[in-house]
Structure 1
């Protein structure tokens, strides 16, 4: 992923705050020789303090041999994306039809070393971390080895601890455009009011203010 200086996070806290609210992504795993990469959509729980994300997959998932062959993986998360018509990007005194269309989006890519978790007690602890993230208000039964409701199901899954070794983050929201053009794009996003337009506008204005 190319990250221009004007699209880069101002500080780590910027992408960390965004990632804390975006916990569904795609895990890319290098394919075995002669095979393309595996890409697995999944929910995950990111723990900034531990520098890792945790998740689990069904034991029959075909990506396991590829993870064993090369545990260096990439967890990719993209959201708040919108299409920006060309005329929106035209600078003043430039014909609107000469404007260049583009995409706005936020993206975080976590390069990780994957650690497979097969110990039943460790899998139960990993599941409880995920449940605590996705259901913080409670109302869920803890996973424990040999105990209902999840004890008998632990053998059917394998856990993954994704140890983060590098991060690439990008907030592509017209950072190289003039203040006048960015203000106009914010107004047009408000007028269009399509899916994700409000989130894109928030990013545009927030980064402009910063």
Structure 2
């Protein structure tokens, strides 16, 4: 992922704050020799204090041999993306039809070292951490090996702990455009009111301050 200086996060708190509200992504695992990579959509829970993300998948998932062969993976999360028409991007001294269409988006890529979790007690702990993240209000029983309601289901899944070794983050929102152009884009996003337009506008205005 190319990251221009004007698209880079201001500091770690910017991407960490964004990622705290985004817990669905794609896990990219190197394929076995001669095979393409695996790309697995999944929910995950990221813990900045432990510097790891945790998740789980069904035991029949075909990616396990590849993950065991090479535990170096990338967890990719993308959101707040919109299409920006060319005329919106035109520079102040440029005819509108000469503007360049583009995409705005936020992307965070976590390069991780994966460890598969099969121990029943550790797997139950991992699941309980995920449930606590996604259901902080409670309402579900805890997973305990050998106990209802989830104990008998534990053998059907495998947990994954993803130790984060590198982070690449990008906020692509016209950071190199002049103020007049950014203001025009912000106004057009407000008027269009399409999916994710509000979030994209907020990033554009916030990062222009």
Q: Give me the TM-score of the superposition, normalised by structure 1.
A: 0.99
Structure 1 counterpart of 2:121: 121
Q: Secondary structure at the match of 2:137?
A: coil
Structure-1 separation of matches of 2:17 and 2:162? 19
Structure-2 separation of matches of 1:171 and 1:93? 26
Q: Deviations over 1:101-152 (max 9, x none)?
A: 0000000000000000000000000000000000001111100011111100
Q: Secondary structure at the match of 1:149?
A: coil
Structure-1 separation of matches of 2:153 and 2:70? 27
Query: Equivalent residues in 2 for 1:88-103 (5 A)?
Result: 88-103=88-103
Q: Give me the TM-score of the superposition, normalised by structure 2.
A: 1.00
Structure-2 separation of matches of 1:96 and 1:182? 14
Q: Secondary structure at the match of 1:203?
A: helix
Structure-2 separation of matches of 1:147 and 1:73? 33
Structure 1 counterpart of 2:29: 29
Structure-2 separation of matches of 1:93 and 1:114? 51
| Structure 1 vs Structure 2 CA RMSD | 0.4
Q: Deviations over 1:20-66 (max 9, x none)?
A: 00000000000000000000000000000000000000000000000
TM-fit CA distance, 1:92: 1.0
Structure 2 counterpart of 1:202: 202
How many residues were matched structurally?
A: 209
* 1:74 pairs with 2:74: yes
